[in-house]
Structure 1
Amino acid sequence: MTGKLVIATHNAGKLKEISALLAPYGVDCVSAGELGLPEPEETGTTFVENALLKAHAAARAANLPALADDSGLSVAALGGRPGVYTADWAERQPFEGPPGRDWFMAMGKVEGLLCGLGRQVDRSCWFSCVLAIAWPDGTEAVYEGRVDGTFHWPPRGDRGFGYDPVFVPHGRTETFAEIDPVEKQAISHRADAFAKLVAGQFGDARND
């Protein structure tokens, strides 16, 4: 996997994080958004299904290898929700304001449900990340990562995106949104998945 790679996302924060992780391997990343590719409907019921759906759609449309990330937050006390529907919980309904994603609202929904379960509720949670690579000929590869932590309220920090301000990884006291981005990249669910991707696609090869 060398040369140009389509990152199947319209999320600038996610593109920046993925590009930084792939930079040492001589991969030239371009986003689906920059290429004007449409976002396919995510109809899968698992992270793997959605990641593969997005990767194959981008690879076919661009005629280039494509990498898709499907990730989300799962909360133990909520039976693993929001899980694969993590982004959907941030989508505003007509009565909630203009169309778009409101991550503070999404974090508040999780907190509201946890509060409804009582003061002693288990706040353990985890971020999952699935990275799927697809080539125009239909070849594919999948790598899965995970990081465990605690759901913290109120949100803290402005360095992350999505649910980062409410996630405190095990062994730390800061949320993902308070941790330096370089440190976060070393311990995140995406970093875990990328370590597996690098081992599978690059071995020890790297452009120093």
Structure 2
Amino acid sequence: MQELVLATKNLNKVHELQQLLEAENVHVRSLAELGGEDVAETGTTFEDNARLKVQSAVAQFHLPTLADDSGLMVDYLHGQPGVRSARYAGDHNDAANNARLLTELGGVAPTQRQAQFVTTMVYFDPQMQVELVAEGKLVGQIMTVPQGNDGFGYDPLFYVSELDCTLAQLSLAEKNKISHRARALQEFLRQYRRLNLQK
């Protein structure tokens, strides 16, 4: 079984990615498990922030490392909250972030509430000196009121038209089939498998 450091302490994210990677015979270890240090997300893009997390974790543990940065980009708000999604109204305060988003979109018509979730993943293997970058997107619309009790972050507000529900109305297994993170991971795995064939 291959070992991979997931450069996050976000337990929701760890659980989500563990489920997605277990079929690949990959053992995921998080920063929380390893006692690693977080890094300030000072980048201007999702890729910048993911790379900062990877570089920090590789410096600490010298192991193959995967990190992602994800966020919500709302068309009407010119791509905001973007890289500040987790800190939009308070650091990782989901309720406050959702409340601010609803305030910013107050009175905006449904046809103007389009949005997309974006995930960019960066992987680095310090032994091979190889970096992989993958991106996934999920297009949807911001609701006027939260719906659903599962998920985290902006999931209760993010409506996916083809499923006729928000992400928070899906089970984790259902969400993992269509989420931006799942799509980024599938692209990462395509590159990762090809890389392993070269070893």
Question: Is 1:107 aligned to 2:98, yes or no?
Answer: yes
Alpha-carbon distance in 2 for matches of 1:131, 1:169:
22
Change (3 A) 1:187 1:120: closer
> By how many angstroms is 1:3 displaced?
1.2
Give 2:115's aligned amino acid. C
> By how many angstroms is 1:120 displaced?
6.0
Report the counterpart of residue 62 of structure 1 in structure 2. 61
CA contact under 8 A between 1:56 and 1:135: conserved in structure 2?
no
Alpha-carbon distance in 1 for matches of 2:110, 2:20:
38
Q: Deviations along 1:173-198, whole A, 9 cap, x unmatched?
A: 21101112111111110111111111
Report the counterpart of residue 135 of structure 1 in structure 2. 125
Report the counterpart of residue 30 of structure 1 in structure 2. 29
CA contact under 8 A between 2:167 and 2:175: conserved in structure 1?
yes
Q: Deviations along 1:34-73, whole A, 9 cap, x unmatched?
A: 1111110111000011011101211221111111010000
Alpha-carbon distance in 2 for matches of 1:180, 1:54:
28
- 1:34 is paired with a residue whose SS is helix
CA contact under 8 A between 2:151 and 2:167: conserved in structure 1?
yes
RMSD: 1.7
Report the counterpart of residue 52 of structure 2 in structure 1. 53
CA contact under 8 A between 1:56 and 1:136: conserved in structure 2?
no
Question: Is 1:169 aligned to 2:164, yes or no?
Answer: no
In structure 1, the gaps of 5 or more residues are: 92-99
CA contact under 8 A between 2:86 and 2:93: conserved in structure 1?
no
| Greater relative contact order structure (CA < 8 Å, 6+ sep) | 1
Q: More strand per residue: 1 or 2? A: 2
> Residues 146-165 of structure 1 correspond to what in structure 2 (within 5 A)?
146-165=137-156
In structure 2, the gaps of 5 or more residues are: none
The normalised TM-score by structure 1 is 0.88
Report the counterpart of residue 72 of structure 2 in structure 1. 73
> Residues 2-21 of structure 1 correspond to what in structure 2 (within 5 A)?
3-21=2-20
> By how many angstroms is 1:170 displaced?
3.0
Alpha-carbon distance in 1 for matches of 2:174, 2:84:
27
Q: More helix per residue: 1 or 2? A: 2
CA contact under 8 A between 1:114 and 1:121: conserved in structure 2?
no
- 2:47 is paired with a residue whose SS is helix
The normalised TM-score by structure 2 is 0.92
- 1:184 is paired with a residue whose SS is helix
Identity of aligned residues (%): 37
